[in-house]
A and B are shown apart, each in its own frame.
Chain A
């Protein structure tokens, strides 16, 4: 139970922190983006804290322990995703966005329909991610108690839902950011401690570590260090894995709860700096996680990992117990708990911003005052968190693994093409935005619904029925090009064209002239 106590201590520290930061001013800029006052290093840490889901640490290390080389390659794609954020998205978004994607788009499009489209996709992403995060609490409980207990799972979901509501209701973006920064620090320390213990155990002899990992993998021993674990045997399986990795690279930078962070710094230059800080942290983090995966295969063994209650998610915790005893295990488990709260808080603030700013304020008839807008955003946070906690409780024992991939694919097929076109293509227009957003959304959902992720395979959500016509669970290789095609087609089908507005978009996105300060 020491992990439970430690989790409560970390949570208490966060709440005290949030209380001390205070409510701040009642302005939308303060509530949604903390007055854009975060420095590059602060925002870089918070970006790191937002980006790393529980799954990036536990699932990836387990994946490396069981699938070896291909999982390492998969981990690399999560690093490369940050180059897309750095080179393509962060600065133009900082220069053209105010609080939401809808703000950036309405510079040159008809405001109401594009805000509605941006808000729709953002809220769907929120619902899916929030469900995954809350139901993922089951894994934490299994780690903490060593057994699966429905009552304890329900209590953890309630606790995460409540903590998220309090942090975001009271602290807004400021509270969310400091939660993410603390989580980033804890997670980084946890992984460095575990990875450091592993490297010391092997006296920094990576070759021996890899050799032990290969022999610890048991039946698949020869394969652990070579491709094949996830690529599969035939071309369909191989292309599916390629599709999965390309989606990871293209989708992450366009995730709404992540890119709202690009808006919390004083200038595009500071945003760039914060992304580079995130990269300096993320690269060593992922390298250590991969080594931890190999270490788990070497010192714990594939069979022990697979037969433990948490399955592959237990790889890193079991290694922690092996190398550092119960203390290190407790630390790792409680860091995972805090990790979920930092992510759900980020999700809640971005959803509240888009609901209040894009739907309530701009689509409802009356214009609220700044104070009223923040008040509405706070109520939205409570409503959304309560709703999602209930959904989490209802779905807590379902197999929802496919949602994670669905989400990133959806974003890569709708938001990413919309962003790229609106900054770089003169002819893009309102019709193009709607085609890309709704077209990309519908295509992704339909393809995934008819894929092995939902039916027809042992690990599907509905394993007993089979209506999987589409061969891959990861549909990005088809849906992302289609998203771009819809944007082109939709724009060509409409006569709307506003060169003056494009001049503003182009100049603002590249230079920051006229950007919000």
Chain B
């Protein structure tokens, strides 16, 4: 259950070596881009919705079909986008991040053996 293998010094050297490896640099770039992009999209989209609800209530009150109005359609949009973002994140992480993370982990295990 404790992970450190070998003395702390080799471990630190291993981490510093991995930090400049191609696999890790690529993993970090992709992960950071993904996090920043998705975070901006869903927070921005939700903020846009609540700002419109607060400051343009008349727009949200417009009826579209029966008693369903623009505001309720925005809510439906939020819910669908949450499901879509989740599905996208799972796919992206599996295809583009997991293989790189695995390479980094292998490298780490090899150098620490």
Contact = CB atoms under 8 A, between A and B. Distances in A.
Interface of A: 27, 29, 69-70, 72-73, 76-77, 79-80, 82-84, 86-88, 206-208, 210-211, 214, 225-228, 231, 238, 241-242, 245-246, 249, 268-269, 272-273, 276, 279-280, 283, 287, 424, 500, 503-504, 506-507, 510-517
Given A73-B49, A227-B54, A207 B66 contact: yes
Contacts, number: 157
B108 A514 contact: yes
A368 B66 CA distance: 67
Contact of A207 (B24, B53, B65, B105): B65
Contacts of A249: 43, 46
B69 interface: yes
A72 B76 CA distance: 11
Interface of B: 1, 3-4, 11-12, 15-16, 18-19, 24, 27-28, 31-32, 34-35, 38-39, 42-43, 46-47, 49-51, 53-55, 57, 60-61, 65-69, 71-72, 75, 78-79, 82-83, 85-86, 89-90, 93, 98, 100-101, 104-105, 107-109
Contact of B27 (A80, A84, A88, A510): A510
A269 B82 CA distance: 20
A511 B57 contact: no
B42 A80 contact: yes
A48 B26 CA distance: 34
A241 to B, nearest CB: 7
B75 A76 contact: yes
Q: Is the interface of B mostly helix, strand, loop or mixed?
A: helix
B82 A279 contact: yes
28 contacts: A27-B1, A73-B53, A79-B79, A80-B46, A82-B82, A207-B66, A207-B68, A208-B67, A214-B67, A225-B61, A226-B69, A227-B53, A227-B54, A242-B54, A245-B50, A249-B43, A272-B93, A279-B86, A283-B82, A503-B18, A504-B12, A507-B104, A510-B104, A511-B104, A511-B108, A513-B105, A514-B108, A516-B3
Nearest to B58: A226
Contact of A227 (B4, B35, B57): B57
Given A69-B72, A77-B46, A516-B3, A510 B31 contact: yes
Contacts of B34: 87
B16 A503 contact: yes
B86 A86 contact: yes
Nearest to A209: B67
B15 to A, nearest CB: 4
Contacts of B53: 69-70, 73, 227, 231
B45 to A, nearest CB: 9
A316 to B, nearest CB: 19
A244 to B, nearest CB: 10
Given A76-B46, A506-B19, A516 B71 contact: no
